[in-house]
Every structure is written in C-alpha cells, then in structure tokens.
Amino acid sequence: MGSLARVVTVLPLEALPGVMTDPETLSVTIVDGYVDEPAHFGVPPYISTYPRYTAGALVDAGVPREQITYHTIDGLRDDPDRWRDVDEADLMIYLGGMTVPGKYVGGTPAEPDEVRKLAWTASGTSLMGGPVKFGVGDENAGATETERQDLDFDFVAKGDVEAAVFDLVENGLEGFNNRMRDVDEVSRWAREGAFVVDQHPNHPDHLIAELETSRGCAYRCSFCTEPLYGNPSFRPPPTVVGEVDALSDHGVKHFRIGRQADILAYGGDGEAPNPDALRQLYSGIREVAPDLETLHLDNMNPITIVEWPEQSREGIRIIAEHNTPGDTAAFGLESADPVVQEENNLNVSAEECFEAVRIVNEEGGWRPGEDPDDAPTFGDDAPRRLPKLLPGINLLHGLKGEREETYERNMAFLRRVYDEGYMLRRINIRQVMAFDGTDMSDTGAEIANEHKKLFKRYKKQVREEIDNPMLERVAPPGTVLPDVHLEYHQDGTTFGRQLGTYPLLVGIPGERALGQTIDVAVVDHGYRSVTAVPYPLDLNAASMDELTAIPGIGSSTAGDIVVDRPYESVADAGLDTTVDLSQFVTTRPLERVN
C-alpha cells in the first residue's frame, strides 16, 4: 500500500481572515506626484504638506520611521531601480493632483498614465489621495475638463488622505471611512512627519516647505476647489510654529506660508483680519528658525484689505517686518469685467482690487536699507534690492460671461496700475480647469476653447506692454538677487531662480556648473525674466559674454575692455553705459605669478 502525502498551505499571518496587520511590520512607500491647488503648491523646489502629514499619520499609527520610504515622481523617472520600492511595499500611497494649470521648471507633475502604472506596479495595498480626488484630465493643462477616476488604485481617499492613511493602518489595511482630520491630529502629524523631507532629492539646500495655516474659504467663486474644503478653519500659531521648529531641525531653511485662501484672515472669523495672530505666527517662526533664509507667503484676498483697511495695513506691516525680500501676495482678481464677476460670484471688483494694490504698495513696497514710510520706491534713488512685499494679480479666462470686452477691461486695469506708479510682482494669466462640485462644471472648457486665439493675442500684449516695463520698475538694473540656484542650460545661457514665491527666472551669460548658488545683479529685462551677471562683476575677470550683457557695451567695447585690463578702478575703463556700473561692477587686483 503506497504512502499518502498531504499538502499543507501556510499563509502569512497578515493574510489570514480576521487577523490585523501589525503597523510595526509594515513597509510603506509614499510617491509624490506633486500638487498645485488655488491655495497649495508642491512642485519642486516646493514640498507640499501632503507627504509630510501622511508620513506623520503613519508614525502616529505605529509605523516605524525607518520603514517609510518617500520618492518624488521625478525620482522614479530618473532611477528605475526605485520602482522596486513601489512594488515591494505593503502599502503604496500616491499623493498628487493639479487643480490649477501651470508651467513648471523644478519638476514635472505626474500624468494620469504614470499614476496608473504606479497602481499596476504595487503588489501591496494601494491608496491614492490629495487634490487628485477632485478630478483627472487627459493632461495637466488649462482649458480642460476633468472627471473623478480611481486610476486602478485599491482605495481613493475622498476626505483627507492623511486621515485615511491613519485609519487604514489602524484597521489593518482593511478600509477606512472618508473623513477630514481635525486640528489636534494635523498638529501632531505635521511635527511627526517633518523627517520625510530628508528623503527629498532637493534636501536640504534647494527645498522650500509649504506651510498650512488654514483651509477652506468664506467665498464661493465658480471655478475654485478651495471652498470644497468648507468654511475657513485655522491652525493656532503655536502649532504652525512647532512645525517650522521640526522642519528646521531637519535642515529646512526656506518656508512659504502658502496653504491658505487669505493670509490676512488668519486666526480671525474667516473674513476680518487678526493682526495679533499674524504677529504671533511670524514672530514665532523667526524665534524658532532664526537662521531661515526664505519666509514668503502666497494668497491674500484683496476684498479683505478694502473692507478692513486699517487692520489690513497693520497685518501687512507685520508681514513685511518679518519676511524676506521678494515676497508676493497673490490677488485673485480673476477678471476686471463686472459681467464675469457677477456670473462667477467673484468677490472683488476692479476698483476694489486697485485700492488693495495701492495699500500693499504703500505698506510693503519698501526695500531693505530704506525707511518703510517711503514705500513704494523705485527709480534711480531706490536701494538695489527687491521690495519686501508686493501684490501679484491672478487673471483667469474661460469663465462664464467672458466676452471680447473682458480682455479690454483687464488690459485697462493693468495699465492703470502701471500709469499711477504702483508695482506688481507678477501677473499670472491662465485658462480655467473645470471640476465637479464647482459652478464651472456645467460650462466646462467651452468658453476657454472658443477664445483660444483671442487669449493668445491678449497674453502677448500683456507681456509686452505691462510685464516688461513693470519688471524694470520692480528690479531695475543693478538690483542684487542673492542665492540664485542654477537649474538648467539653454542656448549658451545658464538659468536659475531664487527660492521663494514666484521667483524671477534669471538668465546668466555662459554655461556655469548647475546646482550651485551665486549672487547676481540684474542688467536687462525680458517679459517675465531678467538677464543678470555675477555680483559683484569684476571688470578685470569678466567674460566677453558677461560684459556684452550690460546695456551699452557691445562686442567691440567688450573686446577693448579685455585687451586694456587690468584697471585700478571702474572709472579707469571710461565706459559710457546706460546703467550705473557702480551699483554692481568692481575691479579686483590681478594676482601675480611668482
């Protein structure tokens, strides 16, 4: 009689029905596909709150820090071996979503097909969250319509992804209820998750952390996803300051208070300013991070300034006292056309927005080294540094009620700002993206597509007639831009930017080593970029390309400079230029060879 063999299948403990997965054994991979929302930014060199809060929620749920791996989508593109972390993780979390169209230099947001590949690659449980929950288009661009998709993930967090992650781990990866996290939770998770910045490719020198002070909005503009977070809710100043303290301990020196609809409304009733809360916030940040190198903000609602001018002035003064130069308060004018304003529930008129521009210029438009009471300052007598705080204007096209006159009214508004002697740090012109849950979902991209040609002509007109002269007013020749990070080469020029809100794109003659930071001085202006030379520029060592970048110095003069040097002083060169060379040019003695 032959012997009988019995086959026994042994299942791992976590696969047995009813047995919970132990958080201490979990391996987790977080993939950052980047975010761009009306009040939240996370494309490199920015890191958004999502990966930090998600990492903090994982730790709070019991997952050891050393078992949490973080990758950006660019990191996966650059090194295919990193996909192993996506494949082998017990839990793979994708964070991303673009609800505002933009063009990006520091990173390329994940496209839908790449996100699907993540889901297909993950062998463990997969979870998707962030603003991607609001909808996905065929591409990350304006004049597009979106729809909600799961992109083949096991779970989609329809509430806060960090709350979903915490609950999912608590529930042994078996599911979660869609919910929003509370202030106590986000305060813990913000500190606990600060460590994840160590794994960002830009860490530590070229990374700026987006900070959240509030979510939600008191207003209901037709196109905007921010009201989908509800009415404004604020994090108390000590919780934000504590987050900065933790990030600073992990080497972060650049911060932007960008995650809110209106910085002036911080700590108040959602609409009226609260200068005391702003003072606690800004002074607290400066106390725990005294060596910070960037402190900027993003959104400021112009209607707040008009409705509460004195409290707003005080708040703006507090910000300008504590921030770093080149800061920008983005104003959501969206349209100067009253018809478009009415049909889209926009909360500020062109006249009101102009008044807000004036007030921010008067309170924040001063430059380091001068009396704040002199603001706004520009021209030959102004110090050669960027102003402390200026407004930026957002204009959105493709909204309901848009007509040809809309473009004319927008141009008239911008011309008035320039003609009356005020400054705008930047003008952001884009076309609408339509998302479910917003009033624009019915109209979609129809109007934007109809007006494509008109939009292109108008955008070119703004760049030529407003942007160029405005940029020269904000950053005249000789303006010093410290710590410009060199990012890429193009046509024999090296391009770089400072870290901060809407930094100027700087073109420097010649191809320099990328990844370094240098100080530069502005010598010429484009539409949205400047040409600059190293600061100070040594006349005895400058290249031909650097010399000819200076207005008034052609190739012949530059050749003479090179042949006739060294010079004892700049005056010895006898140069006749249209800019004041004493602002940024020097002569260093040449070293003798023994």
Please tell me the predicted confidence (pLDDT) of residue 233. 79
Please tell me the predicted confidence (pLDDT) of residue 399. 87
Q: Is the pLDDT of residue 590 over 60?
A: yes
C-alpha–C-alpha distance, residues 76 and 31, integer Å: 9
Q: Is the pLDDT of residue 11 over 60?
A: no
For residues 504 and 548, the answer to whether their CB atoms sit within 8 Å is no
Please tell me the predicted confidence (pLDDT) of residue 7. 40
Tokens representing 268?
Answer: 């108040």
Q: Is the pLDDT of residue 229 over 80?
A: no
Give the model's confidence band at 437: pLDDT under 50 very low, under 70 low, under 90 confident, else very high: low
Distances in Å between the Cα of 585 and the Cα atoms of 235, 523, 539, 540, 570 are 47, 11, 7, 10, 7
More confident residue, 347 or 294: 294
For residues 423 and 388, the answer to whether their CB atoms sit within 8 Å is no
* Mean pLDDT, all residues of the chain: 88
Helix, strand, or coil here: 297?
strand
Q: Express each pLDDT in 516-534 by its tens digit.
A: 999 999 999 998 899 999 9
For residues 62 and 169, the answer to whether their CB atoms sit within 8 Å is yes
What average pLDDT score do residues 382-394 get? 95
Alpha helices in 301-403 (DSSP H): 302-307, 309-322, 338-343, 350-364
pTM score of the predicted model: 0.89
Phi–psi pair at 244, nearest 5 degrees: -60, -40
Distances in Å between the Cα of 380 and the Cα atoms of 484, 538, 580, 583 are 24, 22, 9, 11
Q: Express each pLDDT in 534-557 by its tens digit.
A: 999 999 999 999 999 999 899 999
Tokens representing 529?
Answer: 């970029």
Please tell me the predicted confidence (pLDDT) of residue 134. 58
Tokens representing 16?
Answer: 């047995």
What average pLDDT score do residues 449-475 get? 92
C-alpha–C-alpha distance, residues 495 and 529, integer Å: 10
Q: Express each pLDDT in 256-291 by its tens digit.
A: 998 888 999 998 887 899 999 999 999 999 999 999
What average pLDDT score do residues 182-186 get? 93
C-alpha–C-alpha distance, residues 50 and 93, integer Å: 11
* Number of other residues whose CB lies within 10 A of the CB of residue 50: 27
Structural domains present in the chain: 23-181 (3.40.50), 325-476 (3.30.750), 479-586 (1.10.150.320)
Q: Express each pLDDT in 144-175 by its tens digit.
A: 444 556 778 999 999 999 999 999 999 999 99
C-alpha–C-alpha distance, residues 525 and 469, integer Å: 8
Q: Express each pLDDT in 110-128 by its tens digit.
A: 998 999 999 999 999 999 9
Q: Express each pLDDT in 36-91 by its tens digit.
A: 887 789 999 999 999 999 999 999 999 999 999 999 999 999 999 999 999 999 99
What average pLDDT score do residues 467-476 get? 96
CA angle (58, 112, 206) in 5-degree steps:
60
